[in-house]
């Protein structure tokens, strides 16, 4: 029993299945998260090790290299990058992108094991911390800004921000909450050097006594008649007065106890915030930013709605002078774009329905169009199981496939309708019509599935981001096949047309008038199709008659397509954005306060921009973030993130706002020529991290050679039109005052380098001796012991710092060491254990692309390895990601073709006929090339991805055409007549199945229901590919069929002649 036979016999069960699938889909829709991009694990981890007070050189030598020694033993690592900056070492590990979730977690555990083997880190360095990177945490979904509107001060801001942090952390769907821009509290013990010297005390002495006093230690258990009790020795502080009362020098034997020297005798104590590393502002006001990241499987819109409700409830409770508001809301970006895609999807469905109504009538169009919602809802039932969310890629997949979902239904309905026209009773027409095309329709759907399914094998981060598209397409197509073979026959039996010439019901209601109009219009379309069929048959005859000439023309066409494709530009993710970053770099000696004042000028100008351009902005002074999400911390850096209001104008022309922002920064830089060393204004794009358009890494142990090559690259890049923002990551750091110890003099006093360095650090930055918590506090405050500020505001003051020698006497630093003022780099970077310098640049898409610029560089510097054999040159960033994405995607193409070939060979039972059908694939690609070139678009990864899947779509009409031609020839029809009749007979279904998909893509291509800068070109290019493939099906497929059949016929005649000649030789008389 075939599926159509089952459907006709069990109509009640089929209708129940239909309702269950539809209701189940609506239920699953509520459980499916909505986001713009699918959350993926980036197979990346960052190891952060803090060492307060250390220089970049010390961090590299004593921390980073030791970590790398162990981390380089970890397997499944693609690349390991490190940045050694002042106070911190950051090692970023990129694991093999092909690792699945379990393998990735295993690799991260290996990293933890390697870190446990590192034993000789500096004593005052903190424990290395490892953080896994996923898209949800890299890019928080929303921020809460706590701004100072009334001069309340940082302490009040901090209290409010901490309260928000503790409450927001409890909201459902929140995975991580961080406060940016505020310092921790601390208690400072400020030692007066003169008074301390009177008693023979140093900063280290005071810190040690505080550390030894401020302890709470277990002393075991005590047992008596009352039972067992825990013993503890408590000496920890509960107030600042207790710190001041700490004895730092006991009286000599025989002296009165009142001679004890306490902290209050040599120092004063103050409570404040620690020295700031960052300065944070919101809309130009001092602020704290609370970043909120979502958990996996959490709908970004739901989470932001909860944050909105929290802010509305919490804002009235904050002290006067503090404002609490939401900023950088991802939902504001996601909502209109998802809405636009849904609107385009709905508009496309309406256009498909209208097209079907005009061509096959209202009742048949209703039976056909139901395949779209049924397939979507049935597919959504499986979304949670397959880890598919409602996001931009799934919606584009639905849009791409929406027209295809009715293709199989059109073929079945067309055949049923043809049977009715031949006079068959409806039930028999349904059975015969559906069964006759059962296998062609099944193979047609499976060829499309076979084209999209191998795309799941595409490796890499880009492949992970778009993997939901083929999953969605495959599930939707299988659901449509089920609807076509099981649901449709039963529905046609109940609701389909009974006669070959339906007439509009007479009446005078608006519905009857409209139905009559459409019926007359449909008949006109039918008449048009008949005339088109006659014209097509007439035009096809010379094509199949003069096969050699048209075949040669087709080969020339393919060559021209290939040549044209070489001039297309590739852009990995032509993303949309709703915010942009302004990065400013001041001279390396600038303090945090100086950089903050400079950035304030830019913020004042941003406040003057109209509200339709700028919604709000926040600034972090002391921080910058590169496109690999690596943080760069320095007082001369500043990062301002500007959010734009969501409007169609800003979606389509956001670059205009960026250019106005560039004008502002350019004017501020011109007014402060010595204060701004470099600046950059760039969009904050959504999608996987792909790096800069140009990123060239020079890698060797010879730092001077790296710098020399980097300078050459920068000079050449500056001459290429369209290239801007040329720079490298080798930045000069601030002045460095080095303690140069005289070993001979130091050894006389029994002093080591560590003793002297600790004394210097204690005097300047201070020694964190212990921590302290007051009874009303919720967290510990560090106790920092250091010299009074006015006793360390000059370099020479540091030489007067005293350190205790081995014999107890005090020795000045000036007696055993000198201070040398030098300058080092802001950070030392290494890749896979070798020092590296990266040159980067931006590219104006109107003048050049990442690919063209990088190829130009490769050609210009081809002799680098000959001149410097010890150097490795790596072209990375967007260029590397693009090459990998293209290679990974094209690797799936042969798999798709092989699967399609096997299905076609099974259907036709022929080795050669599948190649006839496959000729439509290059024609479809030619359409994409023409569409991209004619419209001036670039080829994106999503387009390349879908183009591979398109190979399975364009063969569908061709395989049905070949199948009909085979049937006609099996009935004894001559070759040319069979080809012409099959083409004429399949003209209407071929046009309809193509146009339904094209019409479904039109709203997105032209922005009829909301424009999309990313997916509009994608839709237009695919539509061109389908239109070209339709023409190829109608003309090239008959040409290829006739050519192959003619060739086979000639070969058979030659074989028969050869056999006849051999037979004549065998029967010839023998010769002597």
- Give the other-Cβ count within 10 Å of 198's Cβ: 11
Tell me the C-alpha distance between 373 and 367, whole Å. Answer: 12
Residue carrying structure tokens 């397997």? 75
Spans of all domains in the chain: 3-31+334-498+518-567+910-1054, 37-135, 186-273+734-825, 577-684
> Could you give the C-alpha distances from 370 to 30, 363, 452, 773, 779, in angstroms and in order?
21, 11, 23, 68, 61
Tell me the C-alpha distance between 365 and 369, whole Å. Answer: 6
Residue 843: strand, helix, or coil: strand
Take residue 1 and report the two structure tokens written for it: 């029993």
Q: Which residue pairs, CB below 8 angstroms and at least 24 apart, start in 737-741?
A: 737/795, 737/798, 737/819, 737/820, 737/821, 738/819, 738/820, 738/821, 738/822, 739/813, 739/817, 739/818, 739/819, 740/817, 740/818, 740/819, 740/820, 741/816, 741/817
Tell me the C-alpha distance between 302 and 282, whole Å. Answer: 25
Tell me the C-alpha distance between 734 and 86, whole Å. Answer: 10
In this predicted structure, which of 144-148, 308-312, 683-687, 963-967 has the lowest mean pLDDT? 683-687
Closest Cα partner for 825 from 275, 83, 64? 83
Q: What is the DSSP string of 755-818?
A: HHHHHHHHHHT-EEEEEE--TT-SS-EEEEEEE-GGGSSSHHHHHT-EEE-TTS-EEEHHHHEE
Take residue 1017 and report the two structure tokens written for it: 């070109």
Residue 1007 pLDDT? 67
Q: Is the pLDDT of residue 693 over 90?
A: no
> Could you give the C-alpha distances from 484 to 150, 865, 949, in angstroms and in order?
68, 61, 21
CA 274 to chain centre: 36
More confident residue, 390 or 607: 607
- What CATH code would you report for 186-273+734-825? 3.30.2090.10
- What CATH code would you report for 3-31+334-498+518-567+910-1054? 1.20.1640.10
Q: State the DSSP code for 1033.
A: I
Which of 3.40.640.10, 3.40.630.40, 3.40.50.1000, 3.30.70.100 is the CATH number of 577-684? 3.30.70.100
Residue 503 pLDDT? 46
Predicted confidence (pLDDT) per residue in 90-134, tens digit: 999 988 877 877 888 899 999 999 999 988 888 888 899 998 876
Average pLDDT, the chain: 83
- 269 in Cβ contact with 248 (< 8 Å): no
Report the DSSP beta bridge partners of residue 812: 802
Predicted confidence (pLDDT) per residue in 964-1004, tens digit: 888 888 888 888 888 888 888 878 878 887 888 888 877 77
Tell me the C-alpha distance between 555 and 452, whole Å. Answer: 27
E strands of 496-539, at which residues? none
Tell me the C-alpha distance between 330 and 340, whole Å. Answer: 16
- Give the other-Cβ count within 10 Å of 552's Cβ: 11
Predicted confidence (pLDDT) per residue in 389-418, tens digit: 887 788 778 877 877 788 788 888 878 877
Residue 1071 pLDDT? 45
Please work out, in degrees rounded to the nearest 5, the angle formed at the alpha carbon of residue 118 by the alpha carbons of 115 and 121.
Answer: 120
Predicted confidence (pLDDT) per residue in 163-212, tens digit: 999 999 999 988 888 888 778 888 999 999 889 988 889 998 999 999 88
CA 517 to chain centre: 50
Residue 716 pLDDT? 92
More confident residue, 150 or 355: 150
Take residue 656 and report the two structure tokens written for it: 């205009």
- Give the other-Cβ count within 10 Å of 86's Cβ: 22
Residue 994 pLDDT? 82
Predicted confidence (pLDDT) per residue in 260-308, tens digit: 899 999 999 998 888 888 899 999 999 999 989 888 777 788 888 899 9
Please work out, in degrees rounded to the nearest 5, the angle formed at the alpha carbon of residue 463 by the alpha carbons of 397 and 687.
Answer: 80
- The superfamily CATH assigns to domain 37-135 is Multidrug efflux transporter AcrB pore domain (3.30.70.1430)
Q: Do domains 37-135 and 577-684 have the same CATH topology?
A: yes
Q: State the DSSP code for 37.
A: S
Q: Is the pLDDT of residue 591 over 70?
A: yes
């Amino acid at each position: 029993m075939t599926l159509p036979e089952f459907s006709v016999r069990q109509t009640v069960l089929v209708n129940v299945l239909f309702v269950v699938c539809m209701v189940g889909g609506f239920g699953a829709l509520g459980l499916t998260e909505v986001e713009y991009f699918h959350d993926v694990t980036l197979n990346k981890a960052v190891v952060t090790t803090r060492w307060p007070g250390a220089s970049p050189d010390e961090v590299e030598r004593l921390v980073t290299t030791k970590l790398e020694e162990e981390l380089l033993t970890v397997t499944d690592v693609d690349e390991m990058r490190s940045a050694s900056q002042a106070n911190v070492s950051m090692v970023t590990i990129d694991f093999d992108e092909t690792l699945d979730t379990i393998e990735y977690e295993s690799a991260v555990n290996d990293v933890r094991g390697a870190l446990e083997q590192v034993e000789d880190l500096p004593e005052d360095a903190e424990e290395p911390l490892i953080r896994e990177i996923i898209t949800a945490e890299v890019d928080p979904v929303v921020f809460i800004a706590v701004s100072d509107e009334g001069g309340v001060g940082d302490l009040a801001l901090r209290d409010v921000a901490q309260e928000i942090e503790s409450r927001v952390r409890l909201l459902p769907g929140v995975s991580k909450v961080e406060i940016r821009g505020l310092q921790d509290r601390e208690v400072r013990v400020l030692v007066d050097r003169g008074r301390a010297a009177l008693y023979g005390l140093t900063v280290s002495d005071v810190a040690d006594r505080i550390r030894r006093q401020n302890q709470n230690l277990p002393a075991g258990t005590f047992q008596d008649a009352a039972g067992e009790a825990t013993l503890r020795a408590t000496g920890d502080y509960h107030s600042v007065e207790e710190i001041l009362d700490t004895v730092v020098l006991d009286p000599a034997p025989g002296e009165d106890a009142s001679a004890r020297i306490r902290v209050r005798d040599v120092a004063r104590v103050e409570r404040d915030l620690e020295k700031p590393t960052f300065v944070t502002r919101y809309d130009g006001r001092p602020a704290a930013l609370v970043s909120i990241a979502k958990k996996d499987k959490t709908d970004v819109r739901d989470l932001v709605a909860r944050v909105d409700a929290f802010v509305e409830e919490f804002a009235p409770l904050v002290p006067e002078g503090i404002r609490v508001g939401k900023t950088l809301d991802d939902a504001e970006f996601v909502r209109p774009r998802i809405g636009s895609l849904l609107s385009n999807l709905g508009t496309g469905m309406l256009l498909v329905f209208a097209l079907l109504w005009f061509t096959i009538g209202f009742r048949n169009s209703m039976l056909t169009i139901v395949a779209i919602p049924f397939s979507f809802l049935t597919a959504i039932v499986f979304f949670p199981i397959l880890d598919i969310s409602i996001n931009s890629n799934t919606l584009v997949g639905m849009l791409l496939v929406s027209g295809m979902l009715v293709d199989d239904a059109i073929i079945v309905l067309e055949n049923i309708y043809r049977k009715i026209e031949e006079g068959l009773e409806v039930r028999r027409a349904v059975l015969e019509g559906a069964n006759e095309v059962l296998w062609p329709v099944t193979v047609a759907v499976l060829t499309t599935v076979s084209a999209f399914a191998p795309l799941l094998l595409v490796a890499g981060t880009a492949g992970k981001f778009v993997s939901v598209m083929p999953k969605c397409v495959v599930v939707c197509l299988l659901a449509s096949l089920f609807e076509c073979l099981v649901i449709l026959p039963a529905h046609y039996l109940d609701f389909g047309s009974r006669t070959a010439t339906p007439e509009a019901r007479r009446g005078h209601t608006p519905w009857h008038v409209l139905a009559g109009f459409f019926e007359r219009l449909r008949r006109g379309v039918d008449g048009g199709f008949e005339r088109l069929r006659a014209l097509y048959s007439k035009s096809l005859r010379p094509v199949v008659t003069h096969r050699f000439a048209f075949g040669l023309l087709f080969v020339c066409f393919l060559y021209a397509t290939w040549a044209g494709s070489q001039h297309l530009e590739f852009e990995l993710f032509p993303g949309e954005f709703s915010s942009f970053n302004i990065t400013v770099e001041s001279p390396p000696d600038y303090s945090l306060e100086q950089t903050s004042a400079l950035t304030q000028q830019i913020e004042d100008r941003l406040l003057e921009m109209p509200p339709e351009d700028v919604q709000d902005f926040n600034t972090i002074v002391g921080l910058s973030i590169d496109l690999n999400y690596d943080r760069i911390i320095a007082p001369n850096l500043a990062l301002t993130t500007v959010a734009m209001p969501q409007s169609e104008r800003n979606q389509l022309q956001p670059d205009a706002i960026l250019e106005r922002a560039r004008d502002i920064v350019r004017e501020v830089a011109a007014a402060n020529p010595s204060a701004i060393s470099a600046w950059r204004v760039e969009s904050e794009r959504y999608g996987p991290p792909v790096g800069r358009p140009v990123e060239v890494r020079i890698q060797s142990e010879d730092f001077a050679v790296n710098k020399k090559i980097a300078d050459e690259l920068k000079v050449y890049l500056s001459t290429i039109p369209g290239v801007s923002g040329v720079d490298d990551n080798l930045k000069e750091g601030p002045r460095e005052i080095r303690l140069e110890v005289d070993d001979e003099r130091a050894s006389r006093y029994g002093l080591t380098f560590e003793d002297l360095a600790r004394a210097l650090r204690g005097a300047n930055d201070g020694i964190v001796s212990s921590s302290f918590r007051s009874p009303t506090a919720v967290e510990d405050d560090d106790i920092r012991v250091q010299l009074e500020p006015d006793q360390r505001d000059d370099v020479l003051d540091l030489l007067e710092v005293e350190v205790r020698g081995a014999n107890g006497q005090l020795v000045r630093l000036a007696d055993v060491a000198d201070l040398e003022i030098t300058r080092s780099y802001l950070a030392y970077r290494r890749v896979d254990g070798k020092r590296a310098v990266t040159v980067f640049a931006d590219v104006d898409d109107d003048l050049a692309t990442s690919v063209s610029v990088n190829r130009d560089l490769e050609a210009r510097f081809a002799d680098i390895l000959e001149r410097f054999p010890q150097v490795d040159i790596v072209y990375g960033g967007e260029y590397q990601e693009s090459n990998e994405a293209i290679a990974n995607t094209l690797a799936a193409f042969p798999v798709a073709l092989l699967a399609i070939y096997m299905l076609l060979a099974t259907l036709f039972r022929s080795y050669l006929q599948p190649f006839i059908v496959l000729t439509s694939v290059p024609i479809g690609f030619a359409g994409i090339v023409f569409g991209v070139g004619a419209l001036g678009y670039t080829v994106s990864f999503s387009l390349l991805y879908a183009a591979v899947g398109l190979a399975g779509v364009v063969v569908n009409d061709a395989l049905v055409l070949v199948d009909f031609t085979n049937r006609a020839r099996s009935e004894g029809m001559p070759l040319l007549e069979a080809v012409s009749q099959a083409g004429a007979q399949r003209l209407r279904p071929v046009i309809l199945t193509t146009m339904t998909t094209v019409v479904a893509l039109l709203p997105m291509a032209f922005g009829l229901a909301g424009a999309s800068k990313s997916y509009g070109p994608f839709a237009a290019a695919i539509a061109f590919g389908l239109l070209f493939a339709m023409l190829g099906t109608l003309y090239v497929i008959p040409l290829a069929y006739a050519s192959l059949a003619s060739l086979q016929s000639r070969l058979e005649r030659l074989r028969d002649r050869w056999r006849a000649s051999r037979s004549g030789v065998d029967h010839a008389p023998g010769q002597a």
